[in-house]
Amino acid sequence: MPAPCNAKTTGSKQSRPGKVIAVENVRAEKEESFQAKRSPSSPQGAPKKRSAFGDITNAHKAQVEAGKKEAVKVGPRKATKGSAALGVSKNNEINLKKSLRKTPPTEVPTAAHLIAKKELVGEQPVSQVAPIEDIDKDQLDDPYANAEYAKEIFTYMREREEKFLLPSYMENQHDISRDMRAILVDWMVEVQENFELTHETLYLAVKLVDHYLVEVISMRDKLQLIGSTAILIASKFEERCPPCIDDFLYICDDAYNREEIIAMEMSILRMLKFDINIPIPYRFLRRFAKCAHATMETLTLARFICELTLQEYDYVQESASQLAASCLLLALMMKNLGGWNSTLEYYSSYKAQELHPLVRRLNFLLTYQQDEKLKAVRTKYSHRVFFEVTKIPPMDMLKLEMALQS
């Protein structure tokens, strides 16, 4: 009976064992590369973890040499042609080199890795190195946390800080003073609270005001228009349901009309070339508080200190990341929760000594610089929902200095 057309005929010719093993090696290599690219959220599971400095020890080198010796012995013992066995061994050795050449995924270095690295370059290892914690490992299964890219995201934000550093611009403003700016920011805090906007919206709006005033000389009667339009732009960028223009006309007591707000919105966006993804301290503050395992009360205290700086023109030129780190360090010291540990130093890229001058200024701001006209921030954080952090007394300047020196 004749065989069907689509049936595979088993021919008398058999493929040589060398080719079979080479094909299997290629398939294994493809499967390995596919697993390495697999997302942790995929049903197949996460890729295998590798140590960051796993290829610098002698033990690993011995394993490589042993693997190479085993790879040479893989081919069939008795081959009809010597070239087939030689080809198999060469393919296995190439595949082994390719697998070793693959860069392992980036992991947070531990104390043992740091000591091994120092011994490798000839340095004297530290007797006790504090371990660095991987703060994103618990959120790898959460697709909304972006834990896989969190380190790269904040590194990118640190790079963008250099682009958005603010110069001293108040000398060029002839009709606007520092006090007027402080009153405007105080009003913006009230708007954020009344509209129940996010804190990111408030911080971004203040940044938009400052960057606009750097380029444009404005009059005092347009200052509230700039502030309200900045909140409108920031809410469109940050909020799910931003307020409409009519809401801003209402809070401005109809001092401006719709056309003026739209014209100011176009002016601000054109001045910033529509690049409004400005790094703000609030995002860094939440990241650093996660490194310190700070409670919500401690984080709220740091937010209160950071929000006080929005009204002060003297803090305009400070970078967002350094300001956030200094606010958190002061909050930790006020709550007697220790200082700057190795994990905070690793993720913030700041040493404790770099933050000390700014910590002193912030504590001075809490202790002495209380303007009776500017009550929005202190009133806001005196509520129970914010743990009444305004009632926490600031540190004595002498005690703070002794703590910083220790």
Same domain membership, residue 309 and residue 219? no
Q: Can you say whether the dihedral through the CA atoms of 152, 274, 173, 181 is positive or negative?
A: negative
- Split at pLDDT 50, 70, 90, the class of 244 is very high
Q: Could you give the number of structural domains in the chain?
A: 3
Spatial distance between the Cα atoms of 162 and 321, rounded to a whole number of angstroms: 11
379 or 21: which leads in pLDDT: 379
CA distance 355 to 106: 28
The residue count for the chain: 406
Residues 258 and 328 in one domain: no
Q: Give the per-residue pLDDT at 28.
A: 45
The answer, as to whether pTM is greater than 0.85, is no
Max CA distance (Å), the chain: 104
354/339 Cα distance (integer angstroms): 13
What is the predicted pLDDT for the residue at 109? 57
Q: Is residue 128 part of a domain?
A: no
Question: Which of these ranges, 84-88, 89-93, 364-368, has the smallest mean pLDDT?
Answer: 84-88
For residues 286 and 267, membership in a common domain is answered with no
User: What's the mean pLDDT in 321-329?
Assistant: 97
Cα 106–chain centre separation: 15
- 290 pLDDT more than 70: yes
Q: Quote the pLDDT of residue 145.
A: 82
In a domain, 36, yes or no: no
Inside any domain, residue 127: no
For residue 10, pLDDT beyond 80: no
Say whether 8 sits in a helix, a strand or coil.
Answer: coil
Query: Rg (Cα) of the chain, in Å, rounded?
Result: 30
DSSP string, 328-396: HHHHHHHTT-----HHHHHHH---HHHHHHHHHHHHHHHHT---TT--HHHHHTTSGGGTTGGGSPPPP
Are residues 345 and 265 part of one domain? no
Average pLDDT over residues 40-49: 40
So what's the pLDDT on residue 371?
82
Which residue type occupies 387?
A: F
Q: Copy the structure tokens of residue 304.
A: 């209160």
**Is residue 240 domain-shared with residue 337, that is, in the same domain?**
no
Are residue 307 and residue 225 in the same domain, yes or no?
A: no
Could you tell me the pLDDT band of residue 141, with boundaries at 50, 70 and 90?
confident
Indicate whether 263 and 308 sit together in one domain: no
At residue 105's C-alpha, the angle toward residues 99 and 110, to 5°, is 120
Q: Does 216 score more than 60 pLDDT? A: yes
Q: Are 207 and 193 in contact (CB under 8 A)?
A: no
User: Of 186, 286, 282, nearest to 238 (Cα)?
Assistant: 282
Question: Would you say residue 111 has pLDDT above 70?
Answer: no
Average pLDDT (356-360) is 96
Q: Give the range of the structural domain holding residue 22, as residue numbers without chain letter.
A: 18-30+52-75+82-104
- Residues in CB range of 6: below 8 A, 6 or more apart: none
Query: Which pLDDT score is estimated for 76?
Result: 47
DSSP string, 27-54: HHHHHHHHHHT--TTSTT-PPPP--TTT
Exposure on the CB side of residue 277, measured as CA atoms within 13 A:
7
Dump pLDDT digits (tens) for 53-69.
Answer: 333 344 444 444 445 44
CA pair distance 22, 86, nearest whole angstrom: 11
The pLDDT score that the predictor gives to residue 288 is 96
Q: How confident is the model at residue 12 (pLDDT cuts 50, 70, 90)?
A: very low
Domain match, 221 and 247 both:
yes
- Range 117-134 average pLDDT: 59
- Reported confidence tier of residue 327, pLDDT bands at 50, 70, 90: very high
What percentage of the chain reaches a pLDDT higher than 90? 61
Q: Evaluate if residue 86 carries a pLDDT over 60.
A: no
d(C-alpha 277, C-alpha 98), whole Å: 40
Neighbours of 259 (CB within 10 A): 8
195 and 92 in a common domain:
no
3-state secondary structure 9-20: CCCCCCCCHHHH
Q: Mean pLDDT, to the nearest integer, of 357-374?
A: 91
Q: Do residues 383 and 296 both lie within one domain?
A: yes
Q: What's the pLDDT band for 21 if we cut at 50, 70, 90?
A: very low
Q: State the average pLDDT for the chain.
A: 79
DSSP state of 148: G
CA 207/CA 342 separation, integer angstroms = 31
Q: What is the pLDDT of residue 363?
A: 96
pLDDT at 161 over 60: yes
Instruction: Assess contact for 304 and 377: CB atoms under 8 A.
Output: yes
Per-residue pLDDT for 176 more than 80?
yes
**CATH of residue 362:** 1.10.472.10
Backbone phi and psi for residue 23, each to the nearest 5 degrees, phi listed first: -65, -40
98 and 175: one domain?
Answer: no
Whether residues 315 and 372 fall in one domain? yes
Q: Quick one: DSSP state of residue 138?
A: G
What was the pLDDT predicted at 277? 94
Cα(90)–Cα(108) distance, integer angstroms? 36
pLDDT of residue 9 exceeding 50, the answer is: no
The structure tokens listed for 159 are 């790079």
pLDDT at 17: 46
- Single out the residue of 400, 323, 399 nearest to residue 355, CA to CA: 323
